[in-house]
Structures are given as structure tokens and as C-alpha cells.
A and B are shown apart, each in its own frame.
Chain A
Amino acid sequence: QVTLKESGPAMVKPTQTLTLTCSFSGFSLTTPGVRVSWVRQPPGKALEWLARIDWDGDEFYTTSLKTRLTISKDVSKNQVVLTMTNMEAVDTATYYCARMELGSTAGGGFDYWGQGILVTVSS
């Protein structure tokens, strides 16, 4: 049974750094083709893909936020961590982590999602 769960602060102040952790079970991030991404959704707005880390450690970021984001993984803990620096009010959103598997027997798409965590940026 695959599960993912986000954890982190519900509120941060402007200019602070946000650190979110995605704890998962039921799969391994060392399996070829497996990826974990972070996606966010401001209240009432669309989904926005932020970053992903692949089974082989490759990291990818959305261009508009690349300078502020860092994604990493701890395979021993089955965790993926996202940090976002210099938080602003516009970064207020629900942040999700999600799994994708893409390979010879898997066609991709985020088939499992965490429940999401609402992060509010306010002084």
C-alpha cells in the first residue's frame, strides 16, 4: 500500500525558509523509474509543479522558482525534503508531494498523492 504524507510548518513569516518533508511508504525511491515531485496549489488557483527528485538522484525544478528551491531525498528514512527560501505571501498554498513511476511497465502520471499541507505566509 503506497502512502505519502507531507509535514512541516503551517505558517511561516515573510523572508523565512520553508522546509517540508514528504514521508512515504509502500515503494522505494531507489527503484528505477520512480520519482517524487512537489506540487502546490494556492487557494482557489491551479496546480503548479515545483520540483522532482528521481530514483537515481537527479533533481529538476520549475524555472521560475529554481533559485529558491532545493529538493533532496533520504532513502534510509523514505523521505523527500523540499526547501524554499525567501518565502512571500504569494507562496501561500497547499503543498503536495506525489509519486510517479515511468518505465517499461509504468506509464507515468502522479498515481499517489499526499493529503497536502496548507502553508500560510504571514507576518
Chain B
Amino acid sequence: DIQMTQSPSTLSASVGDRVTITCRASQGVSKYLAWYQQKPGKVPKLLIYKASYLQSGVPPRFSGSGSDTDFTLTISSLQPDDAATYYCQQYNSYSETFGQGTKLEIK
């Protein structure tokens, strides 16, 4: 199975900061990469699909980029509501996989 590695595992940033989370695939996944936000006790929420497409209803401060093996999720101006764990997921192969998650805390 394709392994997805996120970095960092935890991140602390201040309101208004620009935040970047990276996700690296062990093999190329083209652009079949999604990003999710999950808050404690809640269902994951789709933020970005196909590497860079913003899901309907998601604030435009979220953006995604990358292709093949290297991807990034960027929050342009961090808001208090963005405190959550973020996961990447590849869906290019027959066996899909998630990254291990990045916990984002607000200072």
C-alpha cells in the first residue's frame, strides 16, 4: 500500500499566521489527494479534493497544492476555529490510505 507521511505531527501557531502542512506519498498518486479537518468527537470534514480543489462551503483561506508525491495544505490566515487535526488521503491506488494526521493548536 502507498504510505502517506505528514509533517509536522503537531503544530502550534498564532491567529493570523500562515500555516503549511505537508504530505508525502511513498509512490506517485497523481493529483488524487484529499485533505480533511477533524475536530474532537466530530466526523472528518472534506476541505480539499484532487490536490487543489476547494470543497464547497470551505473558507478560501484553505488551499492545497502539489502532485505526484508531494502535497501541501496551507491556511493563509489562521483562525481560532481552525484548531483541529488535519489528515491527507490518497485515492489513486486500489488501496487508499490516510496520513497519520497533523494536530494544529492555536497559541
Interface residues of chain A, those whose CB is within 8 Å of chain B, are 37, 39, 46-49, 52, 60-64, 96, 100, 102, 107-111, 113-116
Q: In the complex, what residues of A have CB within 8 A of residue B98's CB?
A: 39, 46-49
Is B100's CB under 8 angstroms from A49's CB?
A: no
Chain A hits for B36, CB < 8 A: 47, 109-110
What are the residues of chain B within 8 A of A64 when measuring CB–CB?
Answer: 1
Report the Cα distance A41→B97, complex, angstroms: 13
| Nearest CB of B to A51, in Å | 9
Check A110 against B34 for contact (C-beta < 8 Å): yes
User: In the complex, A53→B98 CA distance in Å?
Assistant: 18
Q: Tell me whether B91 and A113 are in contact (CB under 8 A).
A: no
**Residue in B50, B53, B101 whose beta carbon sits within 8 Å of that of A47 in the complex:** B101
**A110 touching B46, Cβ below 8 Å:** yes
Q: Are B87 and A116 in contact (CB under 8 A)?
A: no
Are the CB atoms of B50 and A115 closer together than 8 Å?
no
- Given contacts A47-B36, A109-B34, A109-B48, list 4 more A-B pairs with CB under 8 A: A46-B100, A49-B98, A61-B95, A109-B46
- Given the known interface contacts A46-B100, A61-B95, the answer about A109 and B55 at a Cβ–Cβ threshold of 8 Å is yes
Give the distance in Å from the alpha carbon of A39 to the alpha carbon of B96 in the complex.
10
Contacts of B100 in A (CB 8 A): 46
Interfacial residues of chain B within 79-105, with CB under 8 A of chain A in the complex: 87, 89, 91, 94-101
A10 to B96, CA, bound (A): 26
Alpha-carbon gap, A37 to B94, bound state (A): 12
- Candidates B46, B53, B94, B101; contact of A60 at CB < 8 Å: B94
A115-B49 in contact (CB<8A):
no
The reply to whether B96 and A37 contact each other, CB–CB distance below 8 Å, is: yes
A108 CA to B36 CA in the complex, in Å?
A: 12
Q: Which residue of B lies closest to A35 (CB)?
A: B91
Q: How far is the CA of A20 from the CA of B33 in the complex (A)?
A: 27
Return A82 CB to nearest CB of chain B, in Å: 15
- Cβ-defined contact, B49 with A108, below 8 A: yes
Given contacts A47-B44, A63-B1, A116-B43, contact A108 B101 (CB under 8 A): no
- Measured CB to CB, the nearest residue on chain A to B101 is A46
